Amino acid sequence: MSTSYHSDAAAPSSMIADINVEATAPDPRLVADLVAANHILFDQNVVDAFGHVSVRHDKRPDRFLLARSMAPALVTAADIVEFDLDGNPLTAGGRPVYLERFIHGEIYRARTDVAAIVHSHSHAVIPFGVVNAHHLRAIFHMSAFIGTETPIFEIRDHAGDGSDLLIRNGPLGAALAQRLGARPVVLMRGHGVTVAAPDLRQAVFRAVYVDVNARLQVQAIGLGAVNYLTDAEGRAAAAANATQIGRAWDMWKMRVEGKL
């Protein structure tokens, strides 16, 4: 166990100074979508007061956008902060930032194919991170992106016993990214789940459907041996569904805008 994983016991949300580098204004539509993503994830019960969603900066791949530390339901455009991949804020202006911003920075660093990340404690998924008898895997076509297996990040392997289970620094974020590997989902034992995707709408879609999949799995496992999607089915169905994202996003966005 490397002691480099043990940061000073900082507050889970940190008031730290912005680094002194020039920020880059992102496309306002991307910011608006990120705000909507926060609201959708809350409306869909994926996040509660906790959990966060980020998107890679559209103009600089070495930056990402993430709300300041607050409940997702309350996020507005003014709350979106620019970060570098080390998790340093550029535009927080002294407002607290999420302790676990390292989840986002390190995955963006490790995965050039990823442009959006959701970290949640969605309830149906957590049981799959704390048992060995059954593994989270795609049970129906809508969650085919999960594939046939999902890695579990065990923080004890990196921070020993006695951690607070939080990804509170770069080394832990890098360890999580390594465990995620090339996959879209990594479970975090005793904590939650992190979902990665090529764009924001797919990240939100995946965060919703990984939770649905988990709920269906629990029910099915209670009935007996389960006939899951094969690898080949998973790949084919995931490709087909990737073109469906807009239908869900548009409806979810109308709901949070009070138009439905």
- Under rule CB under 8 A, which residues in 153-182 are in contact with a copy of itself? 161-166
Q: Which residues pair with residue 84 across a beta bridge?
A: 63
Nearer of residues 23 and 220 to a copy of itself, judged by Cβ: 220
Q: Retrieve residue 160's tokens.
A: 């020993």
Q: State the residue for tokens 């008031």.
A: 15
- Binding a copy of itself (rule: CB under 8 A), the pick from 191, 195, 197, 210 is 191
Nearer of residues 167 and 174 to a copy of itself, judged by Cβ: 167
Segment 81-110, which members bind a copy of itself (CB under 8 A)? 99
16 binds a copy of itself (CB under 8 A): no
User: What minimum distance in Å lies between the beta carbon of 25 and a copy of itself?
Assistant: 27
- Give the range of 48-56, 78-86, 103-111, 179-187 binding a copy of itself by CB under 8 A: 48-56
The binding track of 109-128 with respect to a copy of itself, each residue x by CB under 8 A or -, is ------------x-xx-xxx
Nearer of residues 186 and 248 to a copy of itself, judged by Cβ: 248
- Dihedral over alpha carbons 80, 84, 87, 90 (to 10 degrees): -50
Q: Report the DSSP pairing between strands 185-188 and 152-153.
A: parallel
- Binding a copy of itself (rule: CB under 8 A), the pick from 37, 70, 187, 203 is 70
15 binds a copy of itself (CB under 8 A): no
Count Cβ atoms within 10 A of the Cβ of residue 173 and give its class: 0-12 exposed, 13-18 middle, 19 or more buried: buried
Nearer of residues 12 and 23 to a copy of itself, judged by Cβ: 12
List, in order, residues 6 or more apart from 118 with CB less than 8 Å away.
37, 41, 46, 47, 51, 52, 53, 194, 195, 203, 204, 206, 207
The DSSP output letter for 86 is T
User: What minimum distance in Å lies between the beta carbon of 151 and a copy of itself?
Assistant: 15
Residues serving a catalytic function are 100
User: What minimum distance in Å lies between the beta carbon of 244 and a copy of itself?
Assistant: 5
- Mark 142-156 as b/e (b = at least 16 C-beta within 10 Å): bbbbbbeebbbbebe
Dihedral angle sign, alpha carbons of residues 204, 105, 47, 189: positive
11 binds a copy of itself (CB under 8 A): yes
189 binds a copy of itself (CB under 8 A): yes
Segment 200-219, which members bind a copy of itself (CB under 8 A)? 212, 215-216, 218-219
